[in-house]
A and B are shown apart, each in its own frame.
Chain A
Amino acid sequence: MPRFHGQSNHAPVDIVNQLQKQYVDYLSSLFHEGVLDDQFTQLQKLQDESNPDFTVEVATLFFVDSDKLINNMAAALERSPVDFKQVDADVHQLKGSSSSIGAMRVKNLCITFRSFCETQNYEGCLICLQQVKNECAVLKDKLQNLFRMEQQIVGAGGSVPLMD
Chain B
Amino acid sequence: MARNGVASWRRRSSDQFDDPSPCGSEDVHVLAVDDSLVDRKVIEHLLKISSCKVTAVDSGIRALQFLGLDEEKAAGDFNGLKVDLIITDYCMPGMTGYELLKKIKESSALREIPVVIMSSENVLARIDRCLEEGAEDFIVKPVKLSDVKRLRDFMTRDVGDRVRSDGEGTTHKRKLQESSDVSSSSPSVSSASSSSSSSLPTTPSRSPSPSPSVSLSEPSSPSPSTGSSGPCSPSSLESPTRRLKMTSCCD
Contact = CB atoms under 8 A, between A and B. Distances in A.
B contact face: mostly helix, strand, loop, or mixed = loop
Interface in A34-81: 34, 37-39, 42-43, 45-46, 48, 51, 54, 57-58, 61-62, 64-65
Interface string B87-123: 0000101000000000000000000000000001000
A86 interface: yes
Interface string A18-41: 000000000000000010011100
Given A38-B250, A89-B229, A57 B41 contact: yes
B224 to A, nearest CB: 12
B54 to A, nearest CB: 13
Contact of A48 (B3, B39, B142, B234): B3
Contact of B37 (A38, A51, A61): A61
Contact of A100 (B93, B141, B145, B195): B141
B37 A65 contact: yes
B45 A99 contact: no
A contact face: mostly helix, strand, loop, or mixed = helix
A75 to B, nearest CB: 16
Given A37-B199, A61-B38, A108-B195, A96 B141 contact: yes
Most buried by A among B6, B142, B145, B229: B142
Given A43-B42, A51-B45, A95-B120, A111 B195 contact: yes
A92 B39 contact: no
A99 B197 contact: no
B2 interface: yes
A38 B198 contact: yes
Contacts of A46: 2, 45-46, 49, 145
B170 to A, nearest CB: 22
B45 A85 contact: no
Nearest to B42: A100
Contact of B198 (A37, A99, A101): A37
Nearest to A100: B142
Contacts of A89: 93, 228-229, 232
B245 to A, nearest CB: 13
A100 B147 CA distance: 14
A58 B142 CA distance: 14
A-B pairs with lowest CB-CB distance, top 4: A45-B2, A97-B38, A89-B228, A37-B197
